[in-house]
Structure 1
Amino acid sequence: MEVVNRLAESIDFIEQNLDKDLRHEDVAKVACCSKFHFQRMFYMLTGGTLADYIRKRRLTVAAQELASADAKVIDVALKYGYNTPESFSKAFSKLHGMSPSQAREKGRTLKAFPRLSFQIQIKGAEDMNYKIAQKESFHIMGKAIQTTVNMEQNKVEIPVFWDELNRNGFTESLKPFAGPLGYLGVCMDFNEQADTFTYVIGVEKTTEDLPEGCIVKEIPASTWAVFDAVGPVNQAVQATWERIFSEWFAATGYEHADGPELETYPVDGNIMAEDHVTQIWIPIVKK
């Protein structure tokens, strides 16, 4: 329940600062988590980005002001973060289907994008099974890319990266070295300022003789919440992530420990099979 309360407080903070310089890291601080993880959690819960939500709320309030007052368009544009009337008019027209000047005409129908509210939904249709695991620090070896959550580029670049390494035989070359966790997809080295992170495809490091092109990264000792995502990878993994953020964190009192996140895949098997199991490992702390 504490997670839900913090999310509600972050929405209150947004509403109170729509006409100010509203930085994502300040919103995240209200919710007591990092900017990166707040943005991911926000997307998992709402299906939209934090930036898009703030933009739509600002344009909703701006439209209300234009329709009910004699404010100048340029003043409203500057108040809600637009440097020019042209940029404001373009964004305004895209949301409302009319120009800011037209919004001042009586009888015009404006769109209202409502503020969010959060609550725990008791679904009851399916249990969410997990286990808590302790694991000492270990090293992984593999190949990495840097990607970003901006415009959800990570959702495009990571699958392309997997396809590339599968096609060129790199993942197959790792197979003899794979430990009990199998293949790993690891999100780590989060850069809060640039909204970037490193994504590594690899296995646990079990040898000093690295396959060609491998890098080595350390995963720190952590307490982990481990979830089974059962079914074809594309659907099962995304659905499990969404339930973790929308149900599990709110119901258990655990919080994200801001460390690397792991997805583990068996080295053999059909990733599109109905009984395929992908494990999601999330570093946690109890609050």
Structure 2
Amino acid sequence: MIGTLNALVDLVDATDSTEEIDVAGFARERGTTEYHLRRMFSALAGMPLSEYVRRRRMTLAGAELAAGASNLLDVAVRHGYGSVEAFARAFRAVHGLSPADARREGGPLRTQPTLRFRLSVEGSTPMDVTITHLPALVLVGHAAEVPLIHEGVNPHIQAHIAAIPPEEHVRLKELGDAEPSGILAVTADVEPDAPEGSLLTYLHGVALQAGTPVPDGLDALRLDDGAWAVFAARGPFPATLQNLWAATATEWFPSNPWRLRPGPSIVRYLEFTGDFASCELWLPVEQG
């Protein structure tokens, strides 16, 4: 995977700014999927692939302008923009100043260096991982659209859970009749390289067998049968869970013959005290 990611970085720099990068075709040639590749890039680079491409192209555009390029439209077109206005918006978002100011004053400009992924020796602490196969099931509960937050507690999810009456939690627990059992925190509808702030669906609920009727008033998410990697963790909340997410990308996936497949992520809390949690992270996988 490290070699594949570095080859993808080389492809970004080798592709003309006016052309779309064929990430799907590249992934097929490398024996993986676009979904998995984008997820791994985002996790390891700390930014979505789309954001990296934008920063690299704006870095090159900034260098042209600082060197005295005379025609803003020509620079905009060379870097894939059909108008000076659209180019200026993208340029300002990266550099914090307009193309005209960059040309006149030479900066300051923010440079995005070419990324290079390297393998470091990790894994001194064994990861507790189980591969399990689940039949088709339905996740049911109370869903809300919330922004993606990478670090710390998500206050929007906290507010959503707090608004669910205690008696409803009891009803949901009694309703669940499938694995993973218990109350589940489900994250769905997330693009593989979604930037922070992107909207996602958070569902607080339980798992039902595919044939179990869904009570009125509950949101439902139907899942096909498939394999899941179950990662167990225990420690301070939410740092332990967020570190576990990172470790799946940096340690587990690069050294195992599995890759992510599209689908929601599920967290099952075995113990939770507010600042401490024992939990399981369920990720949908397929053999690579």
Please give the TM-score of this superposition, normalised by the length of structure 2: 0.77
Aligned equivalent of 1:155: 149
**Equivalent position SS for 1:30:** helix
Q: Kindly provide the amino acid, as one letter, of the partner of residue 278 in structure 1.
A: C
**Conserved? CA contact 1:93–1:100, under 8 Å:** yes
Worse overlay, 62-71 or 98-107: 98-107
Q: Spell out the pairing of 1:3-82 with structure 2 (5 A cutoff).
A: 3-22=1-20, 26-31=22-27, 32-35=32-35, 37-68=36-67, 70=69, 72-82=71-81
Q: Kindly provide the amino acid, as one letter, of the partner of residue 23 in structure 2.
A: V
**What is the CA–CA distance in structure 2 between the aligned matches of 1:259 and 1:209, rounded to whole Å?**
22
Aligned equivalent of 1:235: 239
Displacement of 1:124 in angstroms is 4.5
Q: Percent identity?
A: 29
**Equivalent position SS for 1:155:** coil
**What is the CA–CA distance in structure 2 between the aligned matches of 1:246 and 1:77, rounded to whole Å?**
37
* Distance change >3 Å, CA 60–CA 279, structure 1 → 2: same
Displacement of 1:105 in angstroms is 6.7
Q: Spell out the pairing of 1:1-287 with structure 2 (5 A cutoff).
A: 3-22=1-20, 26-31=22-27, 32-35=32-35, 37-68=36-67, 70=69, 72-89=71-88, 91-93=90-92, 95-96=94-95, 99-101=98-100, 103-104=102-103, 110-145=109-144, 153-155=147-149, 160-169=156-165, 170-178=168-176, 181-188=181-188, 198-205=201-208, 213-266=217-270, 269-273=272-276, 276-287=277-288
**What is the CA–CA distance in structure 2 between the aligned matches of 1:269 and 1:93, rounded to whole Å?**
44
**Conserved? CA contact 2:189–2:200, under 8 Å:** yes
Aligned length: 273
Worse overlay, 128-137 or 100-109: 100-109
Q: Kindly provide the amino acid, as one letter, of the partner of residue 30 in structure 1.
A: F
Structure 1 gaps of 5+ residues are 148-152
Cα distance per residue 1:240-286 (max 9 Å; x no partner): 111111221112131113233321123x641422xx21211112222
Aligned equivalent of 1:150: none
**Equivalent position SS for 2:65:** helix
**What is the CA–CA distance in structure 1 between the aligned matches of 2:88 and 2:214, rounded to whole Å?**
56
Displacement of 1:8 in angstroms is 2.1
Worse overlay, 71-80 or 52-61: 71-80
Worse overlay, 66-75 or 13-22: 66-75
**Conserved? CA contact 2:23–2:34, under 8 Å:** no
* Distance change >3 Å, CA 67–CA 265, structure 1 → 2: same
Displacement of 1:27 in angstroms is 2.4
Please give the TM-score of this superposition, normalised by the length of structure 1: 0.77
* Distance change >3 Å, CA 218–CA 88, structure 1 → 2: closer
Worse overlay, 256-265 or 200-209: 200-209
* Distance change >3 Å, CA 100–CA 259, structure 1 → 2: closer
Q: Kindly provide the amino acid, as one letter, of the partner of residue 253 in structure 1.
A: P
Structure 2 gaps of 5+ residues are none
* Distance change >3 Å, CA 271–CA 79, structure 1 → 2: same
* Distance change >3 Å, CA 69–CA 160, structure 1 → 2: closer
Instruction: Please tell me the root mean square deviation across aligned C-alpha atoms, in Å.
Output: 3.5
**Equivalent position SS for 2:142:** strand
